[in-house]
Amino acid sequence: MSEALGHGVTPRPEIAGLPAYVPGQRPEPGRRIFKLSSNEVALPPLPAVMAAIADAAGDANRYPDMYATALTEALAAHVGVGADQIVAGNGSVAVLSHVLTAVCRPGDEVVIPWRSFEAYPIVLSVAGAQAVPVPLDAEGRHDLARMADAVTERTRAVMLCTPNNPTGPALTHREVRDFLAAVPPQVLVVLDEAYLEFVRNDDPVDGVALAAAHQNLVLLRTFSKAYGLAGLRVGYAVASPALAGAVRSASTPFGVNAAAQAAGLAALSAQQEVAARVASVVRERERMRSALLAMGWQVPDPQGNFLWFPLGDQSLACARAAQEAGVLVRPFSGDGVRISVGEPEANSLVLELAESWLT
């Protein structure tokens, strides 16, 4: 039974039973330590972005543009769709919550890969739906055949995460195309592309082209990773005009603050600088993976800005050892450790730790 919240009020059972979202550990005050636990970009915001944030601060006494009109129009031009197909929100997790609220009814099922992003079970439970987790394959990839088989008459949506957080592999365009062909058109497919810009596989997913061909596909994207705006919380969905309109109706009013809107616009206007930063992260990622493979590690193909160490029952102990050595990482008890790509010095320290974990 749910615990009473004063005067006999009890929360919904789905809320009382929610798993807690575990954020990446933060450094202790006064100690120099590398924070590689949250998949952030280590570099500070671009100068133009900082200037835009400072300028927006002068209007902090005013409500922001409720529909983030300028940002929405800029995103539409950047993506190559109509502005009526874009819905911005307070980070892609909030946008996902609005998507599920718009389409899910109590008792609906949502098929998800697992292990994947920890927020999925939480937001779909809040929407009143039930998670149907499908285990990843031995390489840390979505088992799309089993996910398609898990779709029933109760299935309202399916989550795809590419690259998959926390394991790293990305889906290919052909895989997603074939999956969409296998899923009934009344089932929503949500393609979470939070790490889209870091993908370097031979057949990257063209989500916009797929969304144009499949009205039941919605894309989720964010400014938190490649654009380095994790602290401002701005993400967006790309969907058909009808679905985007429903999501917009379910969204929190004024969900994107003025500083985030200004920063997003400035970041979109600095594509060359953003691309250069992404390229530097990819170079470090590949340097780390090559070194790990040479050591004998079986590391899943990393296509985001992080790597996955399948340490099983040793995950928590290895995370503690990393912290003692000066690196904060993200353990998943019983499964593995996810480590973000950070500064070259931090990455080299991770490689030293990884070699010690093999002995």
Which pLDDT belongs to residue 340?
98
Higher pLDDT, 346 or 359: 346
Q: Identify the burial level of 177 via C-beta atoms within 10 angstroms of its C-beta, where 0-12 means exposed, 13-18 middle and 19 or more buried.
A: middle
How many Cα atoms occupy the beta-carbon half-sphere of 18 within 13 Å?
20
Question: Mean pLDDT across the stretch 197-218?
Answer: 98
The CA distance from 280 to 276, in Å, is: 6
Task: Using alpha carbons only, give the angle 125, 128, 134 rounded to the nearest 5 degrees.
Answer: 50
Distance between CA atoms of 77 and 70, rounded to whole angstroms?
11
Cβ-proximal residues to 181 (8 Å cutoff; 6+ apart), any chain: none
Mean pLDDT for the stretch of residues 82-89: 98
Closest CA to 197 of 285, 274, 116: 274
Tell me the pTM.
Answer: 0.93
Phi, psi of 296 (to 5 degrees): 110, 5
Q: State residue 5's pLDDT score.
A: 57
Q: What is the mean pLDDT of residues 147-162?
A: 98
The DSSP output letter for 84 is: G
Tell me the domains of the chain and their CATH numbers: 23-45+270-358 (3.90.1150.10), 47-268 (3.40.640.10)
The one-letter amino acid at 347? N
| Average of per-residue pLDDT across 84-105 | 97
Q: Give per-residue pLDDT as tens, 297-318.
A: 999 999 999 999 999 999 999 9
Q: What is the pLDDT of residue 21?
A: 67
Question: How sure is the predictor about 41, in pLDDT bands with cuts at 50, 70 and 90?
Answer: very high
pLDDT value of position 13:
77
Residue 207, pLDDT above cutoff 50:
yes
Distance CA 190, CA 217 (A): 6
Q: What is the pLDDT of residue 29?
A: 65
Q: Is the pLDDT of residue 184 over 60?
A: yes
d(CA 67, CA 80): 19
Q: Which tokens go with 79?
A: 């993506």
**Residues 93, 192 contacting (CB under 8 angstroms):** no
Where residue 243 falls among pLDDT bands split at 50, 70, 90? very high
Q: How far apart are CA 330 and CA 126, in angstroms?
A: 25
Query: Contact at 8 Å (CB) between 111 and 158?
Result: yes
The predicted structure's pLDDT at residue 9: 82
Give the distance, in angstroms, between the CA of residue 261 and the centroid of all CA atoms in the same chain. 19
Positive or negative CA dihedral for 8, 22, 225, 210? negative
Two tokens at 188? 């929503």
Q: What is the pLDDT of residue 1?
A: 46
What are the C-alpha distances in Å from 289 to residues 101, 133, 319?
39, 29, 19
Mean pLDDT of 106-125: 96
List the structure tokens of 221: 């994207």
The torsion region of residue 312 among left (phi > 0), alpha (psi -120 to 50) and beta comes to left
Residue 114: is its pLDDT beyond 70?
yes
Burial of residue 326, with CB atoms counted within 10 A of its CB: 0-12 exposed, 13-18 middle, 19 or more buried: middle
**pLDDT surpassing 60 at residue 138:** yes
